[in-house]
Amino acid sequence: MNSSEIKKDIRKFSTKELETLFLQMGEQRFRAKQVYEWLWQKGATSFEQMTNLSKKLREKLAALYVINAIQVDKVQRSLDGTIKSRFRLHDQHLIESVLIPVPIDNRYTVCVSSQVGCSLTCKFCATGRMKRLRNLDAAEIVDQVVLVNQQSLDTFGHPLTNIVYMGMGEPLLAYRNVMESIERITAPDGLNMSPKRITLSTAGIAKMIQKLADEEVKFNLALSLHAADDKKRDEIMPINEQNNLAILMDALEYFYQKTRNRISYEYIAFQDFNDSIEDAKNLVKLCKRFPVRVNIIEYNPIDGAPFLKSTEHRIDDFAKYLRDHHIMVTVRRSRGKDIDAACGQLANKE
């Protein structure tokens, strides 16, 4: 057993817990705030970096605790500017994050992972073929933001503008850690990013969407919809059998009434499966209960999946039908396909 398995990660302590810890060590209470700022504002990965603490205190902390920071394992750069990073965790598991730059719109978005693997087995998603090994700690999620923000600054001279929880895993099945990570990212004594710049994407777990509503969260919500009738959605997303569209629409309407936050539907277009005008009609019906934006996404084929990408012509016709019925719609052309960094492709491939 190595030392990092014995020692507790100091980032698991709240400010109040840190204060208690320092008082027990015979140190002054304000040291807790100093350490907290090093961890959550400055992204310190070792106690040695905490230069406003005495050398003796830094050594004492290093003897008792660890900082299980994630490490860059591999970086791939797409021809379109997208950058995929694979990170190694302290227990040697691997996760991926993606930096999506859109300089023309001044948008620099990081897509972060919330789990090692995923348990939902969506038929079109590479991550869904991996077993869920564990949830990420809040700190491991924040680390992705910190490291990719630095990557964005180094590469494009611009900090991140947006965060999307759309990487590996289902965020609402890692609820507590995801919420804690958002708290750290948005806190004035953390990364101080606006929650309006954050979007959490879910495959659709109604009771957890209601929980978000009851907590009156400030961030945006996206539903990975991909089919506007239960029969088709059951076929590609097994989670729909327990969380059908009627149940999900009730939960989303409740979320909107409680928070007034933006809701979007992510809709991957599969050729001859969900890209007909009849499918568009069904989608329009789902868009009438509360304000919603639809993001139509090009499918990115994965090995062994029985789906093909819809044609540009069919996607454009589909989008036009939605616009003609006063639905806000964006067609998202895939980014990072050449490095398996596009939607549904994250799977830690070599």
Positions marked catalytic: 96, 343
Q: Which residues of 50-82 are buried (b: 16+ CB within 10 A; e: fewer)?
A: beebeeebbebbbeebbbbbbeeeeebebebeb
Find the Cα–Cα–Cα–Cα dihedral 318, 324, 327, 332, rounded to 10°.
40
Under a CB-based contact definition with an 8 Å cutoff, are residues 294 and 328 in contact? yes
Under a CB-based contact definition with an 8 Å cutoff, are residues 25 and 82 in contact? no
Cα 260 to Cα 207: distance, rounded to the nearest angstrom: 18
**Pick from 176, 174, 185: nearest CA to 148:** 185
Type and span of the H or E element at 9: strand 8-9
**Exposure of 70 in the CB half-sphere (CA atoms within 13 A):** 29
**Pick from 241, 97, 244, 108: nearest CA to 169:** 97
Report DSSP letters for 170-202, one per residue: -GGGGHHHHHHHHHHHHSTTTT---GGGEEEEE
Cα 345 to Cα 128: distance, rounded to the nearest angstrom: 10
Cα 347 to Cα 286: distance, rounded to the nearest angstrom: 31
